[in-house]
């Protein structure tokens, strides 16, 4: 018997989840077993998530993407959010995080888990205020842990826990001023709770109890970056690095209990800092998988932050990031609608695939080879089939059909593919006359 995927791997037991992941990643399952045992790959799989189609996150795996959804006080429509969930699943995302913070959060979470073969993550601290109907300062330490266990019972596969913003990290933050302070919602809530109660972060103080819950349900810890930079001005500063050092220590403690861990990362960051940040994280956190929000490479593009995020995400993935949290055009502005979500998913998928090409992930370049082959053959149906967004590609062509089907309305009979195919076959090329 085993308690977690990591425990099984260390005992030499190949689980059904590992078999599925190995097949998806085109790798030997015994090689995967070794990576899971070391903690450099995780297979988030809560024992209570019965319809899960598992994925691997980490070294040598395809870069995965996560979609954030959930109800809020200003937008509490459960059915509208569930429609987004279904569309996200149809678009083959690997993970969905339910960030609900108001209203019938339990109902929404349970319905999402029941319908989702994708991994489900949550941030339990968001749910605590509504769960207890108490102001933040009135919530007791043990109550935060009780919310985590409730989410685990429901079948959540991973939880973001801001355990690294302890008193030690908080003192570093106070001594080193920032332009945007703490922008992590969960991190800000935990920092505020600590200040209001003059107490240690409950998740840090009672970390062993948290690990008990994780071990019981095989709940993966996503160690949150409370001090992630919210502007390029604040990136790679003392607070961020101090917290990362604490997360590295917490990672080793989790591994001692066979609890799977990934580390969350920045945030906003200039392009030239991304590579170094990936190296630092992997070094300080002992090769644990890295989950990044973006990074957004500029602060001045509201309405287009899916693009600023995709630029940073591609660079991060190429240098070792394993998991990208999508960013939508609505970031910093409002709750994303269905179309925002779709744009965010596509942008993140492009970034993840670009990173996989650079990392030589098995099968990545072959996809591009097949697309180029279809273009050379002017095989439009095959191009649509291979496209990241087939519907959009097909719609664009149908909106502007050429006179000659073996070209498009950009080049017409001057199409380089068309003319090179003819020349290579020894045929004449007629631009002004019919063939």
Binding residues: 68, 97, 126, 162, 184-186, 225-228, 264, 268, 291, 332, 408, 411, 415
Say how far apart CA 173 and CA 242 lie, in whole Å: 9
Alpha-carbon distance values, 18 to 14, 15, 43, 376 (Å): 6, 5, 7, 38
What is the rounded distance in angstroms from the CA atom of residue 238 to the CA atom of residue 366?
42
Numbered residues of the known binding site for [4Fe-4S] cluster = 408, 411, 415
Run of H or E including 67: strand 64-69
| Greatest pairwise CA separation for the chain in angstroms | 84
Question: Measured between alpha carbons, how far is 164 from 396 in angstroms, rounded to an integer?
Answer: 47
User: Which parts are annotated binding residues for Zn(2+)?
Assistant: 268, 332
Tell me how crowded residue 28 is: count the other CB atoms within 10 A of its CB. 10
List the Cα angle 341/343/347 in 5-degree steps: 115
Q: Please state, as a whole number, how many other Cβ atoms lie within 10 Å of the Cβ of residue 92.
A: 10
Q: Helix axis angle, 105-115 relative to 141-154, nearest 10°?
A: 30
Contacts 24+ apart (CB under 8 A), 300-307: 302/331, 302/332, 302/333, 303/329, 303/333, 304/329, 305/329, 305/331, 305/332, 306/331, 306/343, 306/344, 306/347, 306/348, 307/347
Q: Please tell me whether the peptide bond between 295 and the residue prior to it is cis, using omega within 30 degrees of 0.
A: yes
Binding-site residue ranges for substrate: 68, 97, 126, 162, 184-186, 225-228, 264, 291
Per DSSP, the three-state class of 162 is: coil
């Amino acid at each position: 018997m085993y308690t977690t995927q990591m425990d099984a791997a260390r005992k030499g037991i190949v689980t059904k989840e590992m078999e599925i992941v190995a097949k998806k990643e085109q790798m030997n399952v015994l090689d995967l077993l070794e990576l899971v045992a070391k903690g450099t790959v995780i297979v988030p799989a809560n024992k209570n998530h019965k319809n899960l189609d598992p994925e691997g996150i980490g070294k040598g795996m395809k870069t995965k993407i996560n979609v954030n959804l959930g109800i809020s006080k200003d937008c509490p429509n459960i059915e509208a959010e569930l429609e987004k969930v279904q569309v996200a699943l149809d678009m083959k995302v690997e993970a969905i995080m339910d960030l609900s913070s108001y209203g019938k959060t339990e109902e929404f979470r349970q319905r999402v888990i029941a319908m989702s073969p994708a991994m489900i993550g949550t941030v339990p601290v968001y749910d605590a205020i509504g769960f207890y109907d108490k102001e933040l300062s009135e919530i007791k330490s043990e109550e935060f842990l009780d919310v985590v266990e409730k989410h685990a019972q429901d079948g959540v596969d991973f939880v973001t826990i801001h355990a690294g913003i302890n008193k030690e990290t908080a003192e570093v933050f106070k001594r080193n001023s920032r332009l945007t302070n703490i922008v992590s919602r969960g991190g800000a809530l935990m920092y505020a709770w600590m200040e209001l109660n003059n107490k240690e972060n409950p998740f840090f103080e009672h970390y062993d109890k948290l690990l008990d819950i994780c071990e019981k349900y095989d709940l993966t810890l996503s160690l949150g970056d409370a001090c992630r930079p919210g502007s390029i001005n604040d990136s790679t500063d003392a607070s961020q690095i101090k917290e990362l050092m604490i997360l590295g220590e917490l990672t080793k403690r989790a591994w001692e209990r066979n609890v799977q861990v990934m580390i969350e990362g920045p945030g906003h960051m200039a392009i030239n800092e991304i590579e170094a940040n990936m190296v630092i994280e992997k070094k300080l956190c002992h090769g644990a998988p890295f989950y990044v929000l973006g990074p957004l490479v500029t602060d001045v593009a509201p309405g287009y932050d899916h693009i600023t995020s995709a630029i940073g995400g591609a660079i991060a993935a190429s240098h070792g990031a394993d998991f990208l949290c999508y960013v939508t055009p609505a970031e910093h502005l409002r709750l994303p609608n269905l179309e925002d979500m779709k744009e965010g998913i596509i942008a993140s998928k492009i970034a993840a695939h670009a990173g996989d090409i650079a990392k030589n992930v098995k099968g990545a370049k072959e996809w591009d080879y097949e697309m180029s082959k279809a273009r050379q053959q002017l095989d439009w149906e095959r191009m649509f089939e291979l496209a990241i967004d087939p519907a959009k590609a097909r719609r664009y062509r149908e909106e502007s059909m050429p006179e000659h089907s073996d070209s498009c309305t950009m080049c017409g009979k001057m199409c380089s593919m068309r003319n090179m195919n003819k020349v290579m076959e020894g045929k004449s090329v007629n631009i002004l006359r019919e063939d």
